[in-house]
Amino acid sequence: MLRWVSGTFEGWPREAFDVLLRLEGEPSAEVRRECRREREELVRQPMIELLNAVADADSAYEDFSVWGYGEVLLRAWQRQSAIVRLARNVELGVRFDLDGLEVCVAWWYAPPAQIERYRAAVADDGSGPRLVAIARKLEREGFVLSGELLKRPLRGYPVDHPRAELFRHKSVIATRSLGCEEWIHTPAAADQVLAAFSQLRPLARWLVKNVAEVRP
């Protein structure tokens, strides 16, 4: 479990967007240096406070990380990302940028043993149809399902198998944008994230139970 000492979450200040605009494109080293403190205070710190608020509401979300300025991936200076670890290779994600907030659940970077467990669960007549039902419900709720796919149908299963497309997955990701309404400047942003996490919980539980956990 990883927690930070921080203030009460009040949302992102409007000035946070000004900082991100200054970091547009490929900012120079000088601009990045000038923006470092403001980005920490106005962009990253609210994310820490948000995740603390989410963890206070539900202890299942207590193990989280918020990327620091020096850990920005792919030079994405305009994005502030965080993850909540649920199990090995199964994470909830939150991202803040100029478009507002985005949430996801992801099973990715999985070792071969997990991929085999995933395929066995998809093939199973109980857990397989359950995954289909979960995926369809998420799509109706506005989530986009994606992930790394095999280029061809999985060998050993008929191409007309009712879950043939799911067999091709080597990772599973469900993502939805929460937008950038006035609530993003208020504590209500935490409620938005909690509601989205609740929608993602059935898929997260399926992945933890059927893929991440090693059964005796």
| Residue range 110-124, pLDDT digits in tens | 999 999 999 999 999
Judge whether residue 4 has pLDDT over 90. no
Give the per-residue pLDDT at 202. 98
Judge whether residue 213 has pLDDT over 90. no
Judge whether residue 2 has pLDDT over 50. no
CA angle 146, 152, 157 (to 5 degrees): 100
Question: pTM of the predicted model, to two decimals?
Answer: 0.90
| Residue 5 maps to a domain | no
Judge whether residue 43 has pLDDT over 90. yes
Give the per-residue pLDDT at 1. 41
| Residue 182 maps to a domain | yes
| Residue 9 maps to a domain | no
| Residue 104 maps to a domain | yes
Mean pLDDT of 39-56: 96
What residues contact 173, with CB distance under 8 A and at least 6 apart?
104, 105, 106, 107, 108, 145, 146, 147
The residue range of the domain holding 186 is 15-212
Give the per-residue pLDDT at 175. 98
Give the per-residue pLDDT at 3. 46
Judge whether residue 80 has pLDDT over 90. yes
Find the CATH number of the domain harbouring 79.
Answer: 3.30.930.20
Give the per-residue pLDDT at 71. 55
Give the per-residue pLDDT at 72. 54
Tokens of 168: 């091709």
| Residue 192 maps to a domain | yes
| Residue 8 maps to a domain | no
Provide the domain count of the chain: 1
| Residue 3 maps to a domain | no
Q: How confident is the model at residue 56 (pLDDT cuts 50, 70, 90)?
A: very high
| Residue 48 maps to a domain | yes
